[in-house]
Amino acid sequence: MVGVILASHGGFADGIHQSAEMIFGPQDNFKSCILKPDEGPADVKRKMEEAVASLDNQDEVLFLVDLWGGTPFNQASSLVQAHQDKWAIVAGMNLPMVIEALTQRFSVEAAKEIATAIVPTGNEGIKTYPEDLMPVAPVAAPSEAPAQNGGTIPEGTVLGDGHIEYVLARVDTRLLHGQVATGWTHTTHPNRIIVVSDTVCHDKLRTSMIKQAAPNGVKVSVAPIKNMVKANNDPRFGDTRALILFESVEDALAAIKAGVEIKEINLGSSAYKEGKVNVTKALSFDQTDVDAIKELQSMGVKFDVRGVPADSPANINDLIKSAEKKLAEKK
């Protein structure tokens, strides 16, 4: 696995390192080095050398630094000089770029190849809100006119095998947020994220905020359960790789009972509120939740209990037992 080393002036690199692991989970061969205000070039170079020495694979190393031409860049460059055939540096580090680098190294074994791949992601991570504040890039004249205008796919058309591929169905009170938009999206590669909720679909503000959080290149929809059932049965969605998000296990149960063909649920988070008991840091259940989980299990639905892809899954049956014991003690 390619080693990734973050370097910056001040605590920036440490902060991005922590943020990346919060979203993507703990990572091996992933280090950060910072240049403190009272330190000089030799200090940060020594830290970089120690970081390299701690990597399992020192043949392939990628440095992500804050500024081109700054001291961290210059010291990383002095180290790369002796390994120009394999090592690489990318300046202008941001969080989307770092997460993309961590994702790329699951399938790419060359630091230089990863360096090339993450630059577009770093650029695409820069957006404004309102969106019309983004500068407009000049549009080159097209070499030829498009073959036809886009439009609605005719009813009855069958795309792919005519069935939605559910790459992930997740219960998460927060719905679309960093762990989903980056960690899970990069792991499951959906082309559409669908928030399925009979309440959120009527909340214009929440719907707008969810759509603004869309990862690059992935469409986001908010739909009531009945519309999700229609999409599930519509062959025009046969080329869809869908990541489905539910606010609660009750919503997931209602959708599956209505005909949405989901066989496994990733249980990510369930916020605490009055009447619930904590079973993990991220999960709180009441008796309604427990009953819904048991009913889903009786229908053959499996549970994958973890917040981010790198986490070790928890045992859902142990969590149910813990919840039932704590709920009984509250009576």
CB-CB neighbours of 113 under 10 Å: 16
Does residue 150 surpass a pLDDT of 60?
no
Does residue 145 surpass a pLDDT of 60?
no
Active-site choice (83, 163, 177, 189): 177
Rounded to whole angstroms, the Cα distance separating 14 from 11 reads 5
Q: What stretches of 25-110 show up as alpha helix (H) in DSSP?
A: 41-53, 71-80, 95-104
Rounded to whole angstroms, the Cα distance separating 201 from 197 reads 6
The tens digit of pLDDT for each residue in 193-225 reads 999 999 999 998 888 888 888 887 899 999 999
pTM of the model: 0.72
The tens digit of pLDDT for each residue in 291-331 reads 999 999 999 999 999 998 888 999 999 999 999 999 999 87
* Residue 9 appears among annotated catalytic residues: yes
pLDDT for residue 124: 87
State the chain's mean pLDDT as an integer.
Answer: 90
* Residue 17 appears among annotated catalytic residues: no
Active-site choice (9, 83, 163, 189): 9
The tens digit of pLDDT for each residue in 90-126 reads 999 999 999 999 988 988 899 999 999 999 989 988 8
